[in-house]
Structures are given as structure tokens and as C-alpha cells.
Amino acid sequence: MDEDHTLSESAAEAVHLAAVLAHIDRPIVLVGMMGVGKTSLGRRLAALLGVPFVDADDEIEKAAHMPIPDIFATYGEAFFREGERRVIARLLGENTPGDAIKGLKLPHAGNGKAGLKVLSTGGGAFVNDATRELILARGIAVWLDAELETLVDRTARKGNRPLLKTGNPREILSNLKSSREPFYSQAPIKVMSGNVPHSRTLASLMVSLDEWLDAHGAKG
């Protein structure tokens, strides 16, 4: 059994996938600290649901024609944050029905509902007031959270996060984690991204999403 098959099986077993899909009418937006798994889990969630996946950082790089470390080095963080805000506004505004099924080669065709997609944000996006308000108004925000040690481990794998280059990564992550928690906690759904395979975190996310849809009268 390959990893993708296992992944789909366990997450799909956790909830009735079709019931969840039928009741989501907005983008699912992953927020949380760098290294928590927003990009990698977002891609898997989109594949499972059969909807498009988009990563805000990738879109910023495409728009700026340069990698994120170069944007920070050349123009600074404030410029990056403004680009991030504009890109996310565009991604959450593009809610045309065709958007949900464009160019898919995925196990499910998607249900063609307006705006159905998974959007993974960069760790600082939800801290910006305008960006957070937009995400809360137009999407279903999911806070992916993890222990500090997990974040330290996972961010050490790639040297592409400029904010971690300015000092001791553990200290920077610890400070950012405390200062950002009041913002992340405004997301209606929280999922722990523990030291377990992606498939387990994906299954927890599906269960939490299903419970939230039930509690908010979107189902039943």
C-alpha cells in the first residue's frame, strides 16, 4: 500500500468524506507557525478533498519573480507583508465556480462549488490585521499547532526562512510562537501537528473539520 493510498484511507475512514465535502462552501485556510506543516499538509488535504491547492508563499514568489529570502533581503519584511496581504486577498477573492475544478488530476473531481480550495499561508500572514480579517470573513481558518521542539526540528530541514537567519532559531521560534498565539487562537478550528505521520494529522484535521461543520449547522 503506497503512502498516498494509506493517507486517503485513514483520513477518509475518520469521517464521511462526501458529507464533509458537500458542506464546505469556502476555502479552507491553514494558519500557524513556520514548520508546523501548513504547506505539506495543505497539499495532502486538497488531494484528499479533490480541490485545488494553493500556497501563498509560492504565489508571492511568482508575483515578485524571486524567492522569499531574496524578497526579504532586497525589499525588507514590510514589503513582503504587503505582498502577502495582496496575494491572499486575490486568492480569497477568486471565488469563481470554475476555479474549483481547474486543471485537476486528483482522485475526486471536486464539486465545483464557488471558492472551494485549500490555501496554505505563511506563518506571519494571520498576524496582519487586514489579512486575518479577510481570512476569517471568507475562509474556514484552521490553526495547525505544534510543540516548539517539533518546529525547531522541522524548520532545520530547509534554510529558506529568512526570519530564522537573524539569530538563534529556537529562541526566535519561541518568541514568535508566544507573540503570535493570540492571533492564531482566533481561528475557529485548531489541530495539533504532533510528531506523527502526515496521515495521522490529516485524519485529525478531517475529524475537527467535520465536528465544526456539525456544530455550526452546516450539516444535517
Ligand X SMILES: Nc1ncnc2c1ncn2[C@@H]1O[C@H](COP(=O)(O)OP(=O)(O)O)[C@@H](O)[C@H]1O
* Binding site listing: 35-40, 57, 81, 123, 161, 180
Residue 97 vs 159, nearer CB to ligand X: 159
Which residue minimizes CB distance to ligand S3P?
A: 122
The four Cα atoms 57, 114, 188, 160 give a dihedral, to 10 degrees, of -10
Contact between 7 and 44 under an 8 Å Cβ cutoff? The reply is yes
- For the segment 159-198, give every residue that binds ligand X (CB under 6 A): 193, 197-198
Q: How far is the CB of 96 from ligand X (least distance, A)?
A: 26
Q: In whole angstroms, give the CA distance from residue 79 to residue 158.
A: 23
Site string for ligand X, 97-126 (x = CB under 6 A): -----------------------x------
Binding region for Mg(2+): 39
Contact between 28 and 45 under an 8 Å Cβ cutoff? The reply is yes
Contacts of 63 (CB under 8 A, 6+ apart): 83, 87
CA distances for 64 relative to 71, 86, 136, angstroms? 8, 12, 26
By CB under 5 A, residue 39 contacts Mg ion? yes
Q: In whole angstroms, give the CA distance from residue 151 to residue 115.
A: 30
Residue 39 vs 201, nearer CB to Mg ion: 39
Residues that contact ligand X, how many (by CB under 6 A): 15
Q: How far is the CB of 160 from ligand S3P (least distance, A)?
A: 7
Q: How many CB atoms lie within 10 A of CB 219?
A: 16
Task: For residue 33, report the phi and psi dihedrals to the nearest 5 degrees.
Answer: -60, 155
Q: How far is the CB of 161 from ligand S3P (least distance, A)?
A: 4
Q: How many CB atoms lie within 10 A of CB 211?
A: 13
Which residue minimizes CB distance to ligand X?
A: 37
By CB under 6 A, residue 36 contacts ligand X? yes
Residue 180 vs 198, nearer CB to ligand X: 198
68 binds, among ligand X, Mg ion, ligand S3P, none (CB under 5 to 8 A by kind): ligand S3P
Contacts with Mg ion by CB under 5 A lie at 38-39
